[in-house]
Structures are given as C-alpha cells and as structure tokens.
Amino acid sequence: MPFALTTSDAAAFPLCDGTIFHGCTIPFTITTLDEGRFVEINMAFETAFGWKREELREKTAIEVGLWSNAENRRQFLEQIKRGNGMHPITLAAARRDGILHHYHTFSMQLSHEGRLYLFTAFIDIQDQIDAEKEARDSRNHLLQLYDTMIDGYARVDKHLRIQECNRAFREMLGYTENEILNLTPRDITPSDWHKLDIRIEQEQLFRRGYSDIYEKEQLRKDGSTFPIELQLYRCLDTTGNYDGFWGVIRDISERKRQQADIDYISYHDSLTNLPNRALLLEKLEHALKRAKHLFPNPSSQGAQPEDGYQIALLFIDLDHFKNINDTMGHAVGDTLLQIAAEKMLHILRESDLLARVGGDEFVILLEAPITTIAVAGVAQRILSLFSIPIPLQEKEIYMSVSVGVSLFPKDGDDTESLIKHAELAMFQAKSEGRGVSRFYGAELGAGILERMTIEHDLRGALQRREFVLYYQPQITLATGQLAGVEALLRWIHPKRGLIPPGQFIPIAEDIGIISEIGAWVLQEACRQMAAWREDGFEVPSMAVNISAQQFERSNLIAIVREQLEKYSLPPHTLELEVTESILMHKTEMVIAALEGIKKMGVRLAIDDFGTGYSSLGYLKSLPVQRLKIDTSFIREIGLDNNDEAITRAVIALSASLGLETVAEGVESKEQEKFLRDENCPIVQGFRYAHPLPAEEIQARYASRSS
C-alpha cells in the first residue's frame, strides 16, 4: 500500500475523511501495525509534536524517536492487544524537539485491503502529571523540613493510625519509622491518662479545628514517660470531611526540671534546706482541707474522739540565739541553726513537716489524729534535744529552745490563727523562763500580747524617729556643780506615749536591734554635746549606756571614734557605762573593745555596781575610771545596815584604787548626808534632777556653770 499522506490517499480510509481527520483537535496517527511506519497524521498531531507531514514520510515511529526504543513500542502493542485497543494507556512520547510528554493514548486496529494499521489518538496529560509531581515534591519537602524541627510532629488518619511523623517525634518516643507507623495514640499514651481530658481535647478539635495547648505525659517505647506540651489540629480531606488529625508535641522535661528547681528554691530555706514559711502555709492549708473534709463540723460535739486533734503546730524558737550570733559571729550562728534543724529532723516521722519560718524560728506540723499527750511528748523530745551542750569550734554551747503548741480545731481553724496561736504559746514559754513548752490556751497572759505588740512596734521605731534622749545631771557633791550628764533613752510611742527603757531595751536586745539603737544614741549624745558647746555651755562629761551586744560587736570602737571626730569632741568628755557582767565575759571582742576605749582616751564607768559579782581587785586590771553604786544600795541608806556598810566600803575602796564613785538614785536629804559623810564625790538622782530634755538641762545649768 502506498504511503497515504495526502488528502486523496487518505480518502482510501473510511475514517480519513479530510475534514474530520484534519479538523479534529486531538492528535492522531495512523501507522502500519507491523513496523509502525507512518501512514497518516492529522494537523493537531503536527502542532502538538512539531513534525511536518513530509518529514515523517516513509519513517517509523521508532526512527523519529516517538517511542524512545523498540522495546517501548513492543510493550505498547502488547498492551493494545490485551486491552483490545480501547483502554487508555498512559505513555511517554517524545516530540520533535525531544521533550517527553505523557499522554493517554487510545488505539484501534484498522484493516484495509488486507493490511493491518494502527490508529492512535494522543491526549496530553503532562500538566496533570506535573501537578501531581509538584504536590508530591512539596509534601516530601515538607516532611524533610519537619525532620529539622525540634518539636515532634505526627499525623493520624481517621482510624487513628499514625501515617507520618518526623524524626524528632520518633526520637523522643524511641521508635524507628517502621515501628511507629500505624500505631495509635493510645499506644503512646500512659494508661492512666484521663479519659475526660481526651474528651475535652476531642471536642475542641471538632468544634474549632484545633485543641488548646495542654500538658500530658508521653509514653516512650521503653515504657518510661516524659512530660510534653501538645496541640492537635483537625485534618480534612479534599471534600471537607474529617480525615484524622495531626499534632505537635514538645518535650518539656527541662522546663519542668527548672520549674521544680525554682519551686524548690522558693519553697525552701537555703541555709537548712528545710521548707520555708511559704511551703508551711501551703501544707498547712492542705492539711486543714483534709481535716475539714474528715470532720466537716469540728465544733459539733462527738465529731471526733475526745482529746483527739487532727493537726498540731509546734512553734520553736531558739533561746537567746541573737546573743550567740552577736558574740560568736554569724557563721557560728548559721552552723548552730543547721545543727538545730538536723537534730529536730532526726526525731520526726517522714510525714511530719519541719519548716524554718524565721531567723531562729521553726515550726513543726503534725498531721493525723493526735492526742494532747502525744503532742506534749513531741514537744518534750524537742526540749530534751537541746538539754545537752552542742560541741562547736572546740567549745560547748548551751542552747535551749522554747516551744509553743496550737491544735486544730481547738485553737483555730485557719492557717493564720493556728500559727499565731502557736507563736503566742511560744512567747508564753519564753516568759516562763525559756527552755519549756506551752500549749495555747486561755491562761495565756495579757503580758504576752503586750510584749508582742511592743516587739512589733519597736522594729520600726528608729526609722520613724520615735526615740529621744533625756539627760540626767550628775552633781559634784562638794560644790553642787554639774559634773556631767547621763543620756537616758526614751521611746515616744505614737499611741502609748513615753515608754521607759526598762520596758523596751530588754526586748530590743532580744530581737537583736539594740546595736542599731545604741549607735543612734551615741551619735545623738555626741551631737547634743557639740550643740551645747557651741552655745558656750560646757558639760564636763556625757555618759552613754552601752549594752552587752553593742560591746561585743566589732564596730563599737569605730562608731565612737567616728562620732568624736564628727563633732570634734575631746575623748575624755565621753563616758561609756557598762554593766559588770559584760566585763566578766572576757571574750576577744570585749578585750579588743576595752583596749580601743583606753587608747582613744574615752572614759569607762561600771554601771549598777554591786549587783554583779566582780571584785574590786579585778576591776583594777581594767581601764575603768568610775563606779556607779547601784540604786538598790542607796535606797536602803538609813534602813539597812548591811547596804550602808557595802556602800561605805565601795566608796573607800574605789577611792584607794583611784576610781571615782557615783551614787545613783539619790532621793533624800538623809541619803545625801550619808554620802557626804563617806566622801562620795558625785551624786545622781531625783533629789537633784530627773532625766530632762536637752533644752531644760541647758536652761537650768548653763547660767550656773558660767
């Protein structure tokens, strides 16, 4: 059969009617079946594949490269035979410029004049193939990208089977990719995970398409768990139907650990590692909740066994701890606190809580039904712990504690009142001589409350400028002239008015703020001296009372020197009054202070002499210039022969030792006469003047002295 690539030849085929054949927009070819030699192509084929009809004359499809090779064509024919020709077959065929496109091909065998031909139509599906590939590529890229994520990603289908996940997800859970695919969320969640939470999360997922970020425990392949943060998103298929979900998980173990550290720090005391006040409050709050749950109406009789309490609080305060801190240094104080904490922990049960709630204050929380006797037993054991001396730095330190107890529900039904009442009971124990325990109860004295208020108010008094100094004249008996003044501290309380030092100085010493107050007194006394001097009023000496704690602090000398310099005062015009007991404890600090005082030229007086145990001989070795005979001896002049004898002896002996005697508390003419007869050089007392404000001293004595 001749090559029929002409319109007339084409007419030989019934199908190849010129108009239909060439007007059709789908590319066609007619080839011989055996060799694949072109018989005819239409114009659409010319356009689509880039060949001119003449160029294909006498050529086979393989020769022009339509099929990349013979094998390709053989397969093509094979498929045609099998599929009876009318099934579309997807094939890649090359255009004239060599570019391959994918086509859906439809083929038919034709028979004409005893020969077989093949009719093939080509529908270009390259765009579709490209789009699919693009989608596939971008999905792969996405998955690659997911693999670089630190967070874990996984998607499950609507049967809840994991379909894909990233590297982080697999590594966090300890699975390989093969192992993890097709697992369900249940397989990777601890069995105790609450069903309720799952419901909430699913509801959110369906309602708005994503869940909140929430925390849960994640199960690893090895059975261990770790905390994660999780958020889920709903998947929809192309028709908008539910198609599973995907989720992102974040390992938050590190964050949890840091949080736990922070919690630990904010709930524990760094010195003793014990729970602090905040944690105690929280635990007590919980304990109260539990107890109230067990006994909803604690006030009703019979709600609990007689003398059975649900909670006991023991408030423990180390006695005179401030003294130890001041005299032995803070490092020793800290060690003592640690030792005390350890000792107490040692006798407690695992379920008891020991907290450090303040400097030297501890609280024990006992929970469970407990009787008064049992609590008293615990308190007693605590007291006994401290009955033996604590060896520290080659010394033995005697330290006692005072314990106050409050019970729930008897002594309060909230955290605040239980703690407050235990503390009050502790104060009661202190006021009863320390080293004892007391239960909170009706017999708690009003004195305790009084002391607590004073203590509270005292803490801010210095800052609020509530202190003033009064000055009591000291008179030279022989001349009646002003020998000096003693500065005496007064607290002008905004509500209570003037409070004498006897009522607050012991408390200030107890709570460790006397040094601060004492420093102010020194400064104020020096300032006053300087002010008087500037006015031309020369006061020969200013006596300032120094408490033991001040004396034992290393900075006393520095403060004194600083004030003398600041106000340009001659050192001998300043006199420090100390009690015998300070000088009896010759600690290094005391010796250093005495030497410093001597070097500076500041005078030293022994106050309240006769009430301590110091011998006159001993005083000789100290840089002391004055002895102040205590008021209690002067008061008895004319009443008690013994006291008179003592006074007489002290005046005589001190004169022989070169010391000056001051008689304190002189009130009567008789007392004065006795002292004059015994040659007591200096007197001080109401007979001459009460302690007075500075202006009054000046008004009274400035004219006389000049």
In the complex, minimum distance from the CB of residue 347 to Mg ion, in angstroms, rounded to a whole number: 45
Task: Give the nearer residue to ligand C2E in terms of CB position, either 333 or 691.
Answer: 691
State the angle between helix axes of 501-510 and 514-534 in degrees (0 to 180), rounded to the nearest 10: 130
Task: Give the nearer residue to Mg ion in terms of CB position, either 272 or 528.
Answer: 528
| Binds Mg ion (CB under 5 A): choice among 577, 580, 643, 672 | 577
In the complex, minimum distance from the CB of residue 265 to Mg ion, in angstroms, rounded to a whole number: 47
Task: Give the nearer residue to Mg ion in terms of CB position, either 173 or 485.
Answer: 485
Task: Give the nearer residue to ligand C2E in terms of CB position, either 333 or 685.
Answer: 685
Torsion over CA of 270, 455, 501 and 572, rounded to 10 degrees?
20
x-marked contacts with ligand C2E along 453-472 as a string, rule CB under 6 A? -------------------x
Site residues for ligand C2E, 492-511, by CB under 6 A, read 500-502, 505
Q: Is 550 in the site for Mg ion (CB under 5 A)?
A: no
SS3 298: coil
Q: Is 608 in the site for Mg ion (CB under 5 A)?
A: yes
Task: Give the nearer residue to ligand C2E in terms of CB position, either 269 or 607.
Answer: 607
Q: Which does 505 bind (CB under 5 to 8 A by kind): ligand C2E, Mg ion, none?
A: ligand C2E
* Count of C-beta atoms within a 10 Å radius of residue 106: 18
- Both tokens of 313, joined, read 């609080």
In the complex, minimum distance from the CB of residue 606 to Mg ion, in angstroms, rounded to a whole number: 9
Q: Is 672 in the site for ligand C2E (CB under 6 A)?
A: no
Residue nearest to ligand C2E (CB): 685
Q: Are 308 and 369 in contact (CB under 8 A)?
A: yes
- Both tokens of 59, joined, read 């050529």
Identify the DSSP state of 54: G
In the complex, minimum distance from the CB of residue 608 to Mg ion, in angstroms, rounded to a whole number: 4
Q: Could you tell me whether strands 225-236 and 214-219 are parallel, antiparallel, or unpaired per DSSP bridges?
A: antiparallel
Q: Which does 605 bind (CB under 5 to 8 A by kind): Mg ion, ligand C2E, none?
A: none
d(CA 152, CA 232): 12
d(CA 287, CA 426): 22
- Per-residue DSSP letters for 570-600? -GGGEEEEEEHHHHHS--HHHHHHHHHHHHH
In the complex, minimum distance from the CB of residue 631 to ligand C2E, in angstroms, rounded to a whole number: 6
Task: Give the nearer residue to ligand C2E in terms of CB position, either 482 or 505.
Answer: 505
Q: Is 686 in the site for ligand C2E (CB under 6 A)?
A: yes
For tokens 């001293």, what's the residue? 697
| Binds Mg ion (CB under 5 A): choice among 211, 415, 428, 545 | 545
Q: Is 547 in the site for ligand C2E (CB under 6 A)?
A: yes
Q: Exposed, middle or buried: residue 455 (CB in 10 Å: 0-12, 13-18, 19+)? A: middle
- Chain centroid, CA 20 distance in Å: 89
x-marked contacts with Mg ion along 663-702 as a string, rule CB under 5 A? -x--------------------------------------
- Per-residue DSSP letters for 99-153? -EEEEEEEEEEEEETTEEEEEEEEEE-HHHHHHHHHHHHHHHHHHHHHHT-SSEE
Q: Is 521 in the site for ligand C2E (CB under 6 A)?
A: yes
- Per-residue DSSP letters for 431-461? HTTSS-EEE--TT--HHHHHHHHHHHHHHHH
d(CA 271, CA 330): 12
Q: Is 474 in the site for ligand C2E (CB under 6 A)?
A: no
Q: Is 578 in the site for ligand C2E (CB under 6 A)?
A: no
Task: Give the nearer residue to ligand C2E in terms of CB position, either 402 or 472.
Answer: 472
Task: Give the nearer residue to Mg ion in terms of CB position, either 431 or 611.
Answer: 611
| 140: CB partners within 8 A, 6+ apart | none
Binding stretches for Mg ion (CB under 5 A): 545, 577, 607-608, 664
Binding stretches for ligand C2E (CB under 6 A): 472, 488-489, 500-502, 505, 518, 521, 545-547, 577, 607-608, 631, 664-667, 684-686, 691
